[in-house]
Structures are given as structure tokens and as C-alpha cells.
Structure 1
């Protein structure tokens, strides 16, 4: 009794570090989110319960007398207090000084070192502990002006209280067993004036579910002192269960809670990687486009957990072209910084990212093989984003090209793969032809397609902005290169027209047509780089194309609009020598005014067909009026 009475007196100690400076750093530097203190305290409580489970393997009496492991939070709005209590292993006086009186000395780390030493004798490989750095506890001083910790070590009759205001010292004194937990630890936060919101049930429950909803210990909430405890979480995590045990309804419910969407997932990817790196992934491809799919930041929305504790939703777990994927990765292998809010770049992270990406793309490939309609819907929703990977991900470019689907001049509203295109290409065709633009209907009306359509050559109709870029990074597919039909000469003469459609150039118009082209080159020298007879036009009189070494027409418009290039290059004006309008203009050799107006009008007509407008609308209207007046005389 004398020894206990002597120890009942309060003892004051100095922290074994410059605590005032450290705590100031934590509040203003280490933690950017004030709510993180609750995650840290719950993680510590979960660790204490896990330690009890471990030690009870050799000493079962330690776990008796207080039911299942649990964590209980009690709110006291009137007293401005928040209490977090667990019935885990608890701490002795010496352990309190060791764990709470020494900054960055983690009891969990020391415990794990003991487990590692014991592994050669006993199998404790399933121990799941979270704490690593020994600083998480002190995050509570972001919201508390004073912290009291009362703890009783499992199997002990003594209980101790640790108290501090976090300004350089702490006090330890003995407490009566009746005022302490039967075993475990009770932390009482005396909240700062601006932290009163942490006594709100809505606030605390949301933080628990967002950050600690899947820790392996049930969490209870007491809304006010004396009220009945309500279970907030059940200590389970869906992704830790076997796929065979999970129903489709459970997957859908979890997807909706995770993503905040109310559709059904088009695909779910659930696997556990074992070996050099161990992690569990549960990912979903949504059934509809997320509202933020085209966010300029293009960030992924995969959540990172470490041993079932939420760490961040800002981890680079999938490439940006899979940002529509929703889900999580749970691992114990990643190195974390002290606040656990950000993960350090590491080979482990790269390996996880590679593994998750491969499994998601493989699952999409399997869907394409087994469910054409389901894949078509997925591609309709996410094809524009997946194609970003062709531009950005060299390693998976071939896989993404094979996965991609396109509307073409022969597909109608259906999608075709590049394998389909190559299979049906003409024997002598060495190129995959494409046309980029705003929408399929506009592209189908393009004059550049006329020669290809007349010869039965399929052309990809690319309507997404990214299409103008990935084709530059996709040198070939199955030995065939990509070429824009608006860029350079087409050399369509190598492909024969269907029998009966070939028309020879009329000899009597050759000379006057050459003269018209020469005149057009001279008159339009500031607007175009060349004027030439076209082999791609069959119905329209004129069209504009890019020079052989220039940008594709659509790409040039995008780059110019984004300020990436100063001005547009001069295109090539192609003229259909067989068109009646061209022949009529060529025949008017004696009317230079009409010829000049006609040549300028042909250029403006080509601009309009290309989706642009006349460079000088007023001059265009005046020329058109003069031509009408001449025709109506």
C-alpha cells in the first residue's frame, strides 16, 4: 500500500523532444487536414486491440472479461469534450512514458520488431498493425487544449493517467481502478474553442465512415454522456472477403457508397496480389460517365488504404486515362510520410500501379470478347478517355489500339475495331486512313471522303479531341501506318474504281484547266501553298488539305485555338477537274474579273466545306452578288 500511495502523487516530466516546436510544425506543416487527428487516434485504438489479440494467443486470460474488441467515441457538447476509448491491450505506467512521453517513438514499431524476432518460432504473419512513426497521437493537439489519457494494461489491477497541454511537459499519476477502463485506453480531448464541431454526431460519424470505416474493430458512438452506444461500423471490409462470398448486390452497394453514383457498375475487378508485393484491389468501371471525367486535372479517383485505414484519394494508383475507374487499393507495403496523408514515390507504388492497370485493362478486354453489347456501352462512355492512353502510355499502346473501337465510313452507327479494318482492307492497301473532325455526320459530308468512298476504301471517322494526337504516336497497327486523308497527296490512283465509274479527262479542257490552275496559284499565293488537280474529289468542286509535311487540318485548328502555334499554315487547294463548275470557270478565258471572283469564291467554298468561314465575309458577299448579277443578265 505504501508503494502505491507513493506513486499516487502526480509526477511531472519534460518531453524528450522540443515538443512546442514539434507540435507547431505538425499543426501547420505535417497535417493539412485537421480531421486527421480522429483517424490517427482510431488507428492507435485498433492497433491496441490487435496487440491484445496477439498477446492473448499465449495468454488467453488477457482477453477475458470485457467482450469483443471495440472502439467507443463519446461526445460531450456541453463539456466540450470528445472521448475515444478502446478495450485493447492498454498501457502500464512505463509504457505511457515510453509511448506518449517520447515523440516519434512508436510502440507499434517496437511491437512489430518483437514479432519479427518471434517469426522463426511462431506463425504470426497475419498481424495487422497500422502505426509506424509515433507522431499520430500528437495530432490531437490540433483540436485540443488539453489531453487526458487513462489506461489499464490488460491483466493489471493498476491504472494510470497521462495529462498534457502539449506545451513542453506532461504529468502522470495513478487513478482508482473504478475510474479507468476494465482494460484498454480512454483518451479525453478538452477541445479548443474553434473545435466544437467535433462534438457533433453528424461530423464525427462522417469522419469515421470516410477515414476509418473499415478498420478491423467495430466502432461505437455515444451521442452524449449516458446515452446508449450506437454501432457506426462493424469492423469488416468487403474487399478482404473472397469473391465467391460476395453477391452482385453487395458489390453494387459498395460501388455506390464508394463512388457516390447511383448507377450499376459495368465491370468490377477484385483481386489480391501476393508475392513480392501484397495488396488487395477492388475497382469498378461505372455504368455511366462520372461528372468529373473531363476534369482538366485528369486525376484518378482510386482510394488508398493501408491495413484498412484510409490514407488518401489522391494517390497515383492508375494512369490518368483510367481516371473514370472507382475503387481502392489496400496494402501494408507502401512507405508513408509521417502524416500518412501522402505516399512517397517508390518502386512499390510503381509495381502496384502497373499491376492494377494491367488487371483493369485485362478485365475490359475480356468484356469485349464475351459481351459485345456491354463493351459497346462501356466504349461509348469511356472510349475518349481510354484513347488518351494510346498517346501517353507507350508500354500499353498496342494493347489499347487493339481494344479501341471506331465509327467508320462503312460501319453506320456501330463500332469497328482496327482488326476489323485491317481484315477488310484492300489487298494493295498499306495505310489505315482516317478523318478527324467535330461529329460523324459532319465528317461523312466531307468532300475529302469522296474519292475513298468511290473506291470502296474504309476511313476511320475520329470525332474526339484526343484523336488528333494519338494518331501521331501510333506509328502502325499490324504493319499498316496511319494517315490523315486531309494531309498530303492521297495517291488514290493505285486503287481502281468500281467498273463503269472511271471517267477519262476530256482532252479539250486540259489546256484551259491548266491555265486556270496557274491563274489560281498566282492569285491565291498568300492564302494557299499550292493549287492542284485532286484525285480524291468526285462530287465537290474543291477542298482544302494540309501539305505533306504539315499538321493534319483538325490538329492544326486545335493547336492554333490553344495558342500552341502562332498562325495556321497555308493549305493546299485541290480542284476537281471533272466538275462542271470548274470546267465552266476554266472556259471563261476572256473574262478576267469573273475568273478572279470565281477563284476566290472557290477558295471560300472550300473553307466552308472544311468547317471554317470566309476570311472576309463582306468581300465574299460582294463577289457572290457580282456572279449572280452576271448569271441573271
Structure 2
């Protein structure tokens, strides 16, 4: 770092350099978005000033009329985007422009492939904001002063978008930010009032602030267009969500989403509603087409902007949407909340509870409509956000049944990893006499699909749901029944096929239990404290043994997940079930050598543990036993 008086040169964060290079090459075909992004930033700065000025009126500095100004200079080949919003101090400039202070950055760069079209899509998901200026500019100058600081505390930032940038202390009379773009060769079409207005009306017509430019008029005497010293608003400058739905086009809804979500892609679905009654508020809520990179970061920002009577209050209003719907983006504008509402008031407000409840119902209704009428779109939604929706079963008791209807599963019907089976679909295919919804959990889809616990169900043609995501164990602990049918793990408790089990089978099972009682007792003695019980299995048709959890015990998969997460959970003893028809079990029954019997018993247990995705405590002993028994065969 070199320092000259009040000027210093600093290096970009490595990720910024990488992002700038990617943008200039990947997004060049859609270069118009630079203006949308910079206007969007200017609008956010004005919103922040409005909010901070609620508690500090001096921040207005006798300039209460917020606006965004766009200007160009043909001779200098510059385009300038100015706002009189909150502005930035020196440290904020370094944090917001020299660094990508955004969770998910590492995952974002890992996902990049070098394919320009695909990377452009990813950059759009990540959101680029200020850096999009370098798509059309080979040098960018930013001059900013934070509201409330003296004119002498302004900061000038400048960079050619390569390895470094300069920071300099300058004077600026008015608060806010000017972004001056020094255009690249070949970008002269932007030095046109008509072209800039066209881009603004296309991408930023919904911005609630006036976006102004100098008025231009045709001078008949000079026979040319002259620039007047007079402003004209280019956009409608009215809150899009406050307009009647009939007056808003689908394109305008899409552009507003891109502004509010800082996304390049159109949303998957949206709902716009005005609620009247005890509480009066307007909702404009969107479902993105793709999950953000930080969907699983519990510290990430939520996506609902809260307004009170068109005045921006905050853009992190997590009290307005439950955590499982954290991917929803949009605006809620209340007529009833006080203008000086704080986060503390939000947490205790009955009005907020009502708004939150109403907004959740609107989102669930939107998703139900997608599921019923636009199956392809719903499949896209489920692939992106399904795991988050599953969290809602335990988080949102009031809407548990509605959420359960939205959940999609893999099942033995297709043995496909694609989650497309609803609980209603499952019930519609239930066997005659079947009164339970059966499922199996595992830590991978392959383990779930190949679970030995499924053997009798496959033999009888009974469908089983295959659950292989971490959230599934949490979900089934809260979703214990649906539409009057109990959800039953095929790996817990006694196997109860209800009316599907015929009387002959039951008699045969009782006879086998009696015939093998001596063997099960002997295996239990060999395994000792490793198992709670050893019994004859009615689940297995081709495997020699499997492990089963007690009806009220924690499943082996859940126990492993909790331990992997560092939680201190008590180890539960499983039940070992053996298949009396399997050749290994038949040979074990006839084994007279007590040492070999013990070795075979332990191998059966270890094999069953491996088959359900467990880990052996002593793999070396397992291998030794197996090798010794092979040698004696």
C-alpha cells in the first residue's frame, strides 16, 4: 500500500478480481443490466436514508427531496449515476466495494465452470451490483459522502477494474453518491438521452424514486435538440406494489423482482395482494427460480423488505416470514404499523403476527397452485427449495397439514432419486388392507433403495418412501400421520403389515420363532450388550440379518447424524433380526463349535450394521473373523 497525502492505493480482494474478469467476459451480451444494478443501489441508498432519518432528522441536511439523476457527457465519454441517499464513509467504501462481504462466496466460485453461458447464469444468481459498471466502463470513479458528515469528509474511489483501486479524501457539498463511468471503446450508444431513457423504462420503471434527466427539446431555429436546465422524470416513480394488479404487466412484475432480489433471472412465481380489514397491508411476494448460494447459512439475510405507508423501514424483516420460507423475496407495505417501528417492536407486535400469518398463507397458496396446475414449474421449485420446505413440518404447526401436502418423495414405485411422489399419490396407490404409510431413512439414496428392510415390502408390492436427506429424520419425527394414516418406519418396532398379512403366514412365523428360539438366545449370549434382543425376522427374504430400532427408540440413522453433528447422544442398542430361511442362518443353527458360532454371530451383526450405513467399531476384527472363516470353509 502506498500513501500520498490523503490518497492511498489498495488491492482488491482476490474474489473481486475474479468476479470482475468473469463479468466483463460472461455478461457482455446483456450489458444493459449495469444501469439497472446501479439505479437499484441508488434506490437502496435512498431507502436507508429514509429509515435512519426517522431517528435523526438532521440527516436530511435541508434536502428532503430524494431522487436519482442520470447524466452523460459526450465530450468526456462519461455516464454519471447520482443519488442523494445515505452515502458512504471511507470504511464503508472499502467494505462494500473493495470486498465481497457476502456469504456463499466460496461456494459460488467453486461452482463456476468456465462455460460463459452457464457462468453468466451463476453470476446472476450471486448478484453483482456495483461491479456491473465494468461491463461498459474501463474506469469507474465514485465520489460519496455519508449523510451527517461535513463536506470535507467525502471519499473518491477510482479503479480500472484490475488489481487495485485508489481512495482519496475530497470535498462534496451534497450527501450521497456519484458513480462516473468512463466508457469503453465502442460504447458510444450510451451517450444518448434516448438510449438511456429506453434502458431505464425497460428495467427501472418501478423504482419508487424519480429518476431524472435533463429535459431535451427540439429547437426549430437551430434545427437540433437542445438540453434544457430543467429536470424531467423518466420513470413512473410510484410504488409498483401499490398499483392495481390490472395496471401492472408481467414484465413489470419480473423487473421489480430483479430489483428487489438482485437477481438476473425472472422469478418462478409471484403473488400480489392487498389485505383489508383489521390490518391493512399489501404483499408482493416472489419465489425465485433458483436457490441462493447462502440458503443454508443460518446467518444469511432474509428477503422481505418492510415498508410502512410506502416508507422503507428495513430489508431484513425476518419476523415477516418463517425460517423455512427464507428464500421468499418481496415487499410488505403496512398501513397500520408506526413509522418508527423497531426490530424489538416487530418481535412483540400482534399486527406483525397477523401479517406474518397472512403472508405465509399466501405463499403456501401460491405453491399449492403451482403443484396443482403447473407440475413442471413445481418440480423445479421442489428441486431447489424442497429441503427447506421439509423444515416447515416441525416449525409451523398451524400449517403442518398444508406443508405435508406440498412435500415430494422418492419411493420404491420408481426407485428413482427424483422426488415426485406426494403423500396423496402414495395413499391413492395403497394396497387393500394397508393402513400405514411406510418409509425408510438412510444417509444416501443408494443405501435407502438397497436397504434389506424393504425386502418383504418389495415382495408384496407395497410402496415405501425412500428418505435420504438429513432433514428427513427431523421431518418424520414431527410428521407422524397424514390424512388419518400413520407414517411407519420399516426399520423400527415389530413388523405389522396389518390386514395384508395372511393367517397362514402368521402361523408359519410363530412356528419359526419357536423353532429358532434356541438359536436367537444363543446369538444374544454371544453378542451380549451389543444388542437389545435377537429375534426371527419377517422383513427379510434374501438377506441373512438386519438391525431394527425399538418402536420408541432413536433410529440408527438419526443417531449417526446427531453424533456427526457433534451432539452427545446416548447409544441405543438395536434389535438383531435374522432370516430363518437364509443358508448362513441354517448353517449357524447347526454350528457346534462355540468359537466359530461366536465369530459368525458377530459377522452377522457387523454385516447388518454395514448394510444400514453404520460404521464398525472394530473393522480389523471383522476382517480377521471373515478371513478365518473363509479358510475353514
Q: Same fold by TM-score, threshold 0.5 exceeded?
A: yes
Which shifted more, 266-275 or 598-607? 266-275
1:319 to 319, 322, 328: 322
Instruction: Determine if the alignment matches structure 1 residue 218 to structure 2 residue 192.
Output: no
Q: Is the 8 A contact 1:597 1:623 kept in 2?
A: yes
Equivalent residue, structure 2, for 1:360: 363
Equivalent residue, structure 2, for 1:132: none
Q: Distance in 1 between matches of 2:521 and 2:174?
A: 81
2:436 to 424, 431, 451: 431
Cα offset, 1:296, TM superposition? 2.3
1:338–1:213 Cα change, 3 Å: farther
Instruction: Determine if the alignment matches structure 1 residue 350 to structure 2 residue 350.
Output: no
Q: Is the 8 A contact 2:440 2:466 kept in 1?
A: yes
1:628 to 598, 613, 630: 630
1:291–1:451 Cα change, 3 Å: same
Deviation readout 1:482-518 (Å, 9 max, x if unpaired)? 121111111247524899x9995798x9888433321
Q: Distance in 2 between matches of 1:217 and 1:301?
A: 21
2:550 to 544, 547, 550: 547
Q: Is the 8 A contact 1:542 1:575 kept in 2?
A: yes
> What are the within-5 Å matches in structure 2 for residues 379-458 of structure 1?
379-413=382-416, 415-458=420-463
Q: Is the 8 A contact 1:440 1:463 kept in 2?
A: yes
Equivalent residue, structure 2, for 1:375: 378
> What are the within-5 Å matches in structure 2 for residues 542-581 of structure 1?
542-581=545-584
1:333–1:539 Cα change, 3 Å: same
Equivalent residue, structure 2, for 1:608: 610
Deviation readout 1:105-147 (Å, 9 max, x if unpaired)? xxxxxxxxxxxxxxxxxxxxxxxxxxxxxxxxxx987423899
Unaligned runs of 5+ in 2: 1-44, 72-81, 86-144, 154-168, 181-199, 215-227
1:462 to 464, 467, 471: 467
Which shifted more, 516-525 or 193-202? 193-202
Equivalent residue, structure 2, for 1:255: 257
Q: Is the 8 A contact 2:68 2:209 kept in 1?
A: no
> What are the within-5 Å matches in structure 2 for residues 509-548 of structure 1?
513-548=516-551
Equivalent residue, structure 1, for 2:621: 619
Deviation readout 1:553-576 (Å, 9 max, x if unpaired)? 222222333344433211111101
Equivalent residue, structure 1, for 2:272: 270
Q: Is the 8 A contact 1:304 1:328 kept in 2?
A: yes
Q: Distance in 1 between matches of 2:300 and 2:147?
A: 35
Q: Distance in 2 between matches of 1:257 and 1:83?
A: 17
Cα offset, 1:429, TM superposition? 2.3
Cα offset, 1:444, TM superposition? 1.1
Q: Distance in 2 between matches of 1:473 and 1:431?
A: 16
Q: Distance in 2 between matches of 1:296 and 1:430?
A: 39
Q: Distance in 2 between matches of 1:409 and 1:459?
A: 6
Deviation readout 1:409-429 (Å, 9 max, x if unpaired)? 114436222122222223322
SS in 2 for 1:280: strand
Equivalent residue, structure 2, for 1:144: 150
> What are the within-5 Å matches in structure 2 for residues 134-173 of structure 1?
142-144=148-150
Structure label with greater radius of gyration:
1
Instruction: Give the TM-score of the pair, scaled to structure 2.
Output: 0.65
2:500 to 495, 501, 513: 495
Q: Distance in 2 between matches of 1:545 and 1:84?
A: 67
1:624–1:217 Cα change, 3 Å: closer
Cα offset, 1:337, TM superposition? 3.7
> What are the within-5 Å matches in structure 2 for residues 220-239 of structure 1?
220=212, 234-239=236-241
Equivalent residue, structure 2, for 1:201: 178
Instruction: Determine if the alignment matches structure 1 residue 480 to structure 2 residue 482.
Output: no
Deviation readout 1:403-458 (Å, 9 max, x if unpaired)? 22222111443622212222222332222111112233321100011111112222
Cα offset, 1:392, TM superposition? 1.2
1:251–1:36 Cα change, 3 Å: closer
Equivalent residue, structure 1, for 2:3: none
SS in 1 for 2:312: strand
1:218–1:534 Cα change, 3 Å: same
Q: Is the 8 A contact 1:435 1:485 kept in 2?
A: yes
1:572–1:216 Cα change, 3 Å: closer
SS in 2 for 1:550: coil
Cα offset, 1:393, TM superposition? 0.9
Cα offset, 1:339, TM superposition? 7.2
Cα offset, 1:626, TM superposition? 0.5
SS in 1 for 2:320: coil
Q: Is the 8 A contact 1:220 1:232 kept in 2?
A: yes
1:514–1:195 Cα change, 3 Å: farther
1:523–1:466 Cα change, 3 Å: same
1:344–1:625 Cα change, 3 Å: closer
Instruction: Give the TM-score of the pair, scaled to structure 1.
Output: 0.65
Q: Distance in 1 between matches of 2:173 and 2:622?
A: 71
Q: Is the 8 A contact 1:70 1:219 kept in 2?
A: no
Cα offset, 1:584, TM superposition? 1.4
Equivalent residue, structure 1, for 2:599: 597
Matched pairs, number: 468
SS in 1 for 2:296: coil
1:72–1:439 Cα change, 3 Å: closer
Q: Is the 8 A contact 2:560 2:614 kept in 1?
A: no
Cα offset, 1:227, TM superposition? 9.5
Q: Is the 8 A contact 1:532 1:574 kept in 2?
A: yes
Q: Is the 8 A contact 1:298 1:323 kept in 2?
A: no
